[in-house]
Amino acid sequence: MAFRWKNTLTHDDVTPEAHWLNRRQLVAGMAGAGLATMAGGASADSPKPDSWEVITSYNNFYEFGTGKGDPVKHAHRLTTDPWSVRIDGMVDRPGDYAFKDIMAKMQIEERIYRFRCVEAWSMVIPWNGFELKDLLDLAGVQSGAKYVAFETLYRPEEMIGQKYAVLDWPYVEGLRLDEAQHPLTLMATGIYGKAIPNQNGAPLRLVVPWKYGFKSIKSVVRITLTDKEPPTSWNKANGREYGFYSNVNPNVDHPRWSQASERVIGGGLLAKRQPTLMFNGYGPEVMALYEGMDLKKYY
């Protein structure tokens, strides 16, 4: 991975101040609006976010081990500065986009999203970030592109879980182009107005709130526009259990457990399982993407 900045962006005049201005606006906006009031355009109710403590200590990030407590223990080793994202494939302006330049150009907003893992647990997370579509527009998607492929950093010296072949590294994911361009699809760079912690996928990770959590790939270093459905890590590991689409769907069970309900993380002793919602509650926004598709076949 080369961190050399290739001068491929169109707005060469952006200064670092713009980045800080955006952050100040974000913080001012949150102080004025109150943290929990911006529901991010989702039609479902505005759920109460989980605590910082819960969100940042109960994680899946197999690059740092397979236990829920492993990422918080080991992810401090990850260096995230400098960082760049290579955007390539079917784009007009391919190149290595420096994270700081991306941040200078993007409008950072808060999105409070439900987050549902395929393992049948859920949380509510107040992300900060920008729409993936805006980043794709920077690179200029070409007309033949149909899918977007994503790749996580491969750096086993810092990501100690990569020394074990639990998955075929690097972690890869993919979306159909219309899913990637949907306004709910976020690149998250923060949580609760702070930079996103390493264990949650610093410095930037995908968030697709109507799909199972494993689609929301962390610590992204490459985004490739392509005309073929890209391979995805969990589908490669077990194609019968994990499909390309992986939309949250209470009517399609995992071969080894029910997806009809979910365990609420951080709910305390009285927390009950709650029913899982179709598309994780984002059906009104996204069901048009899947019109006419058999969601049992395309799981």
Ligand X SMILES: Nc1nc2c(c(=O)[nH]1)N[C@H]1C(S)=C(S)[C@@H](COP(=O)(O)O)O[C@H]1N2
Residues of this chain that bind ligand X (CB under 6 A): 59-63, 117, 152, 171, 200-201, 213-214, 216-219
Backbone torsions φ then ψ of 152, nearest 5 degrees: -90, 155
In the bound state with ligand X, the residue whose beta carbon lies nearer, of 217 and 223, is 217
- The one of Mo ion, ligand X, none whose footprint includes residue 62, by CB under 5 to 8 A per kind, is ligand X
Backbone torsions φ then ψ of 13, nearest 5 degrees: -95, 5
Q: Take residue 186 and report the two structure tokens written for it.
A: 């976020």
In the bound state with Mo ion, the residue whose beta carbon lies nearer, of 87 and 120, is 120
Q: How far apart are CA 171 and CA 181, in angstroms?
A: 21
CB-CB contact of 94 with 106 (8 Å): no
- The one of ligand X, Mo ion, none whose footprint includes residue 185, by CB under 5 to 8 A per kind, is none
In angstroms, give the least distance from the CB of 257 to Mo ion. Answer: 13
In the bound state with ligand X, the residue whose beta carbon lies nearer, of 19 and 111, is 111
- The one of Mo ion, ligand X, none whose footprint includes residue 61, by CB under 5 to 8 A per kind, is ligand X
- The one of ligand X, Mo ion, none whose footprint includes residue 217, by CB under 5 to 8 A per kind, is ligand X
In angstroms, give the least distance from the CB of 73 to Mo ion. Answer: 18
In the bound state with ligand X, the residue whose beta carbon lies nearer, of 128 and 216, is 216
Residue nearest to ligand X (CB): 213
At 207, the amino acid letter reads V
- The one of ligand X, Mo ion, none whose footprint includes residue 106, by CB under 5 to 8 A per kind, is none
In the bound state with ligand X, the residue whose beta carbon lies nearer, of 67 and 283, is 67
In the bound state with ligand X, the residue whose beta carbon lies nearer, of 22 and 59, is 59
- The one of Mo ion, ligand X, none whose footprint includes residue 279, by CB under 5 to 8 A per kind, is none
In angstroms, give the least distance from the CB of 89 to ligand X. Answer: 20
- The one of Mo ion, ligand X, none whose footprint includes residue 59, by CB under 5 to 8 A per kind, is ligand X
DSSP string, 254-266: BTTB--SEEEETT
Backbone torsions φ then ψ of 45, nearest 5 degrees: -55, 160
147: left (phi over 0), alpha (psi -120 to 50) or beta: beta
In angstroms, give the least distance from the CB of 179 to ligand X. Answer: 16
Q: Which helix (H) or strand (E) holds 189?
A: strand 186-191
**Three-state DSSP string of 216-235:** CCCCEEEEEEECCCCCCHHH
Q: How far apart are CA 114 and CA 43, in angstroms?
A: 12
In angstroms, give the least distance from the CB of 170 to ligand X. Answer: 8
Tell me the torsion sign for CA atoms 84, 85, 89, 90: negative
In the bound state with ligand X, the residue whose beta carbon lies nearer, of 8 and 152, is 152
CB-CB contact of 195 with 19 (8 Å): no
In angstroms, give the least distance from the CB of 63 to ligand X. Answer: 6
> How far, CA to CA in Å, does 190 sit from each of 56, 73, 89, 162, 194?
12, 19, 27, 24, 5
Backbone torsions φ then ψ of 23, nearest 5 degrees: -65, -40
Q: Which of 284, 298, 296 is nearest to 250 (CA)?
A: 296
In angstroms, give the least distance from the CB of 238 to Mo ion. Answer: 13
- The one of Mo ion, ligand X, none whose footprint includes residue 152, by CB under 5 to 8 A per kind, is ligand X
In angstroms, give the least distance from the CB of 213 to Mo ion. Answer: 4
Q: Which residues here bind Mo ion, judged by CB under 5 A?
A: 60, 117, 213-214
In the bound state with ligand X, the residue whose beta carbon lies nearer, of 201 and 266, is 201
Q: Take residue 57 and report the two structure tokens written for it.
A: 């200590």
